[in-house]
Amino acid sequence: MRELSCIQAAYEGLEKEISRDQNVYLIKKENIFNKKFFEVLNNDILKNDKVISTPKSEATIISSATGLALIGLRPVVELNQIEDIFLAFSALIDQAAKLRYISGGKLMFPITYLCVENNVYNDNDGQHSDNPYSFLIHGGMKVVIPSCACDAKGLLVSAIRDNDPVAVFLPTRVLAEKGEVPEEQYTIPLGKAEIKKTGSDITVVATGHCVNIAIDIARKLEAEEGISVEVFDPRTLLPFDKETLEKSISKTGKVVIIDDSPISCGFASMVSSILMEEYYEYLKRPVRRITREDIPIPFSKSLKKYVLPNSEKLENAIRSII
């Protein structure tokens, strides 16, 4: 099977959906940064007349996607600066996530927010470095975060075909990672986690690029010390696949959660609280969280290292529990 990078796979899926479904449109901000990414894409997506370039008015663009959905379109809004989510916070949390419910369940908003992250791992400063998906989860919006090229294409297609707002985060450190990607259009259902590596001693719940960190550490610990680590990739953060988590935790009884967003009220806290409330009887040890600190991301590399999740922290956490 041929190999594509994560971003190529995602955009291949996107392009095919645009061609397949007359209602799918791509809304993107005209931005120099785009060109760098589109160089790797090697396709004609920009020439499609269902691709609309907009000025820099983030809140309005994202809110107007709600208007497009209102009259039957299925907009995909591309966000390549994560702070756009902050600027359009009201449009996302107070409009897109709420309006179907408030309308009495009568209206439908099949919008996809494609968040191509260009953040701290590309040496951007702290105001371009967020992973704001925990905010969207708290607002009740579906969130998906693939960790590899194959998942990226299938999940993005499912997100576009889903009839609700879905935010798809493509993490920076995964964008260029290559993997085998089927040529045909396919879906990976939302709400279905995947065990990326089976194990029996400890479950590591990992999101985005932290999945790769977890797999590396898992292989290392198995080879060097015979510790058998199971890597659980939720893939969809909301709806979260509790059943697969239960299967894993009932086997291992020990959990470390590694997630690249701030700790307080973040996704890691949500998973931990599910364990503490619903699967407490399986737990034999404390539930450790490896996340970002609750502070802005500093610019200097050494300071950055201190605040971000990384493999040493994960390894130490695993050892502290085993």
The single residue among 21, 48, 73, 246 that binds another protein, judged by CB under 8 A, is: 73
254 binds another protein (CB under 8 A): no
Q: Does 105 bind another protein (CB under 8 A)?
A: yes
Choose, from 16, 50, 128, 220, the residue flagged as catalytic: 128
User: Is 244 one of the binding residues for another protein (CB under 8 A)?
Assistant: no
209 is catalytic: no
Q: Which of residues 187-226 bind another protein (CB under 8 A)?
A: 190-191
- Exactly one of 180, 278, 305, 312 binds another protein (CB under 8 A); that residue is 278
Q: Can residue 104 be called a binding residue for another protein (CB under 8 A)?
A: yes
Instruction: Please state the φ and ψ torsions of residue 229, each to the nearest 5 degrees.
Output: -105, 130
In 3D, which of 260, 320, 287 has the Cα closest to residue 134?
260
Residue number, 5 or 236, with CB nearest to another protein: 236
Residue 260 has which token pair? 């690249």
Which tokens belong to 313?
């922290």
**DSSP assignment, residue 297?**
P
Query: For residue 247, how many C-alpha atoms fall within 13 Å in the half-sphere facing its CB?
Result: 11
- 169 lines the binding site for another protein (CB under 8 A): no
**Exposure of 56 by Cβ count < 10 A (0-12 exposed, 13-18 middle, 19+ buried)?**
exposed
Under rule CB under 8 A, residue 86 binds another protein: yes
Judged by CB under 8 A, the chain residues 116 through 155 that form the site for another protein are 125-127, 134-135, 137-140, 142
Rule CB under 8 A: choose which of 32, 47, 72, 223 binds another protein. Answer: 72
Backbone phi, then psi, for 184, in 5-degree steps? -75, 165
Distance, CA of 280 to CA of 164 (rounded, Å): 32
Pick from 255, 118, 129, 244: nearest CA to 192: 244
37/89 with CB nearer another protein = 89
Where does this chain touch another protein (CB under 8 A) — which range of 66-74, 171-179, 196-204, 213-221? 66-74
Choosing from 5, 8, 81, 95, the residue that interacts with another protein (CB under 8 A) is: 95
Contact indicator for 83, 31 with CB cutoff of 8 Å: no
Q: Is 176 in the site for another protein (CB under 8 A)?
A: no
Query: Does 289 help bind another protein (rule: CB under 8 A)?
Result: yes
Q: How far is CA 78 from CA 116, 150, 257, in A?
A: 7, 20, 29
Report the catalytic residues: 128
